[in-house]
């Protein structure tokens, strides 16, 4: 009888430990600031803008760079979507077709870039460089607005990919005697990017 009571006590203690561990295993997601929320939602649409412009340019010119980088932008969109789901945000791209945006500023920008890309292959490549230039600059802002590890990981990976995309667009431009001058990042940062080799990023680009 005494042994049975000891066994019951041991099992009860084990169950108590298990219950306390259950709480420790739960992942607590820190709430986002309003700025962080706005950055994520804007970035989701900004990556869609890049993808949609490149899809348009691929349809127009059949140049492989637009196909490759539009696929990369879809990966970027998916990465941002993981943050939207994790932090219980509403996806601004839900139900939107190619070239359609909830944010009116991005809608206006898409319309302008689509028109410019339709002029010629050279202009489409220049638009591509400009989009990546803008993305790098905007991601600098996003990074400065947060200390959260999950956001920083996604932002850093996307920015690495955008640097690679910028290199690729500039290389293609130079191959047809085209040029690009940075509009958003500094000239020093631009030169550092285009004068170095492609990077290995945290995501597949």
pLDDT in tens, 48-68: 999 999 999 999 999 999 999
In a domain, 123, yes or no: yes
In a domain, 81, yes or no: yes
**What pLDDT sits at residue 158?**
97
133: domain CATH number is 1.20.1260.10
**What pLDDT sits at residue 56?**
99
In a domain, 176, yes or no: yes
Q: What is the DSSP letter of 118?
A: T
pLDDT higher than threshold 70 for residue 44:
yes
Determine what percent of the chain is predicted with pLDDT higher than 70.
85
In a domain, 60, yes or no: yes
Number of structural domains in the chain: 1
pLDDT higher than threshold 80 for residue 24:
no
Which residue segment(s) compose the domain that 120 sits in?
A: 27-194
For 5-13, what is the mean pLDDT? 42
In a domain, 82, yes or no: yes
In a domain, 14, yes or no: no
In a domain, 145, yes or no: yes
For 181-189, what is the mean pLDDT? 98
In a domain, 1, yes or no: no
Distance CA 151, CA 40 (A): 9
For 20-31, what is the mean pLDDT? 60
pLDDT higher than threshold 60 for residue 36:
yes
Q: 51-81 in b/e burial notation, b at 16+ Cβ within 10 A?
A: bbbbbbbbebbebebbeebbebbbbbbebbb
For 73-82, what is the mean pLDDT? 97
**What pLDDT sits at residue 139?**
98
């Amino acid at each position: 009888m005494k042994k049975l009571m000891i066994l019951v006590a041991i099992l009860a203690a084990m169950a108590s430990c298990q219950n306390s561990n259950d709480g420790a295993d739960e992942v607590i997601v820190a709430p986002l600031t309003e700025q962080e929320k706005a950055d994520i939602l804007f970035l989701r649409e900004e990556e869609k803008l890049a993808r949609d412009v490149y899809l348009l340019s691929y349809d127009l010119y059949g140049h492989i760079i637009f196909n490759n980088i539009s696929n990369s932008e879809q990966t970027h969109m998916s990465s941002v979507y993981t943050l939207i789901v994790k932090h219980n945000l509403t996806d601004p791209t839900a139900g939107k077709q190619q070239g359609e945006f909830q944010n009116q500023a991005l809608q206006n920008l898409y319309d302008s870039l689509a028109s410019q890309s339709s002029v010629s292959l050279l202009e489409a490549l220049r638009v591509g460089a400009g989009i990546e230039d803008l993305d790098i600059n905007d991601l600098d802002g996003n990074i400065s607005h947060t200390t959260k590890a999950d956001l920083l990981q996604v932002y850093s990976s996307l920015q690495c990919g955008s640097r690679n995309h910028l290199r690729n667009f500039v290389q293609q431009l130079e191959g047809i005697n085209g040029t690009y001058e940075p509009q958003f990042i500094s000239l020093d940062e631009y030169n550092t990017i285009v004068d170095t080799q492609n990077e290995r990023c945290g995501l597949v680009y």
